[in-house]
Structures are given as structure tokens and as C-alpha cells.
Chain A
Amino acid sequence: KNQVEQSPQSLIILEGKNCTLQCNYTVSPFSNLRWYKQDTGRGPVSLTIMTFSENTKSNGRYTATLDADTKQSSLHITASQLSDSASYICVVSAYGQNFVFGPGTRLSVLP
């Protein structure tokens, strides 16, 4: 069964600190992996998209990594800001199929 798991479920960090969020998936055959940021009560916003051949992708202070062999991805946030407080969702697509969403990691950045 295609599944996406994320850890931790929630995370609290202080402003300015770095953090790393994890995603494990069993989606097959793998096509691409996306990270989204979802503010409370809003639609998800795309951060990064990676295919099988890519093992890292950056978008400003966000850097995603992908290990297709171990079926793991991480999202690293550098120098966190209060506005980074949101849910971060890992989404995996298999060839010919639509997206499988992870449950998200809720990040809270405190001053």
C-alpha cells in the first residue's frame, strides 16, 4: 500500500534556529516527491519538487534532500523565522497515479 509517513508530528524551535523534518515513503514506482508548506486554514504552497535523479533541491532557506534507495526525504529549514510556523507536508507521486500526502509536521517557531 502506498504510504507517506512524517516525523516528528510536531516541533517547537526558537527563532533563528535550524531544523530538519523527515519523510519516509513506500510509494512505488516512484515519480517525484514534493514538500509543501500549509499555513493554518490555507491551501498548501509548493516549496520543492524532486525527481528520482535529484538528491537535493533548495528554495531560499528551505533545502530538501532525497534518498531514493532508502525512500527517505528531509526538509531542512535554516535560520527559522516566526513566519515559518506552519505544517510541512511531504507528498509523493507514483507513475500514473495521483499524489499520496503525508500527515504533515506542525512546526512552531517561538520568539
Chain B
Amino acid sequence: EPEVTQTPSHQVTQMGQEVILRCVPISNHLYFYWYRQILGQKVEFLVSFYNNEISEKSEIFDDQFSVERPDGSNFTLKIRSTKLEDSAMYFCASSERFLAGEGTDTQYFGPGTRLTVL
């Protein structure tokens, strides 16, 4: 069964450093998402991406965040200057069709990257 993969599984970085989290969505999916989950808290939406553009983003997704689809398979989340409060599990997800509005496609999540900022 196709699945979303993420690398690395765990990333440790120093405050102020840049990190890039990588995701390989399911191959025929067109819509991609990033979420984060701070330890012990609920999952929070960051950004959705389609056709090489951001479709929607939350208040959390400020100027220090960016997303990119550098080639036909990878989808990346970059945090330019990490802060302690960026420590969280970051989940990538993908779907065949857009899930806002009336879309009821299944959204598939990756296993997550645990980011620890020291």
C-alpha cells in the first residue's frame, strides 16, 4: 500500500539554525500539507500546497517557514531560524484532491519528524 514517507525521523538542532524537513507524498496525490503537534497537544494545521503554490496557511506559518516542491517527488518544510518553541512533531500529509470545502478524500499522513531545538 502506498504511503507518505518523511525524513529524518528525528532532527536535533541548535536555536537559530535552519532545518529542512523532507516528505515524499503518495505518487498520484496532488495536494500536500504540513501539520505540527507539540508534545501533549493537538495537531495544528500549518500549510497546504497545490500546483507549486501555497493554497492556505495558518497563523503559525509565519515568515520563518517556507515550503517547496523542488522536484517531482519531494515536498519540504524549511524553518529558517529555529526557536525553542518550534520543538514538535511535524507531519506531512497528502491527498488526491483538495480537502477543504466539499472534499472528502482520505488524507494520508506520514510518520512524522520529531524536531528538537536546543
Contacts and interface: CB of A to CB of B under 8 A. Distances in A.
A111 interface: no
Interface residues of A, number: 22
A43 B45 contact: no
Interface string B75-118: 00000000000000101010000011111101111111010000
A60 B99 CA distance: 24
Interface residues of B, number: 27
Given A98-B58, A101-B44, A104-B42, A43 B112 contact: yes
B102 A103 contact: no
B56 interface: yes
Contacts of B45: 98-99, 101
B42 A103 contact: yes
Contacts of B100: 31, 93, 95-98
Interface in A40-90: 41-46, 49, 51, 89
B43 interface: yes
A22 interface: no
Interface of B: 4, 33, 41-45, 48, 56, 58, 89, 91, 93, 99-104, 106-112, 114
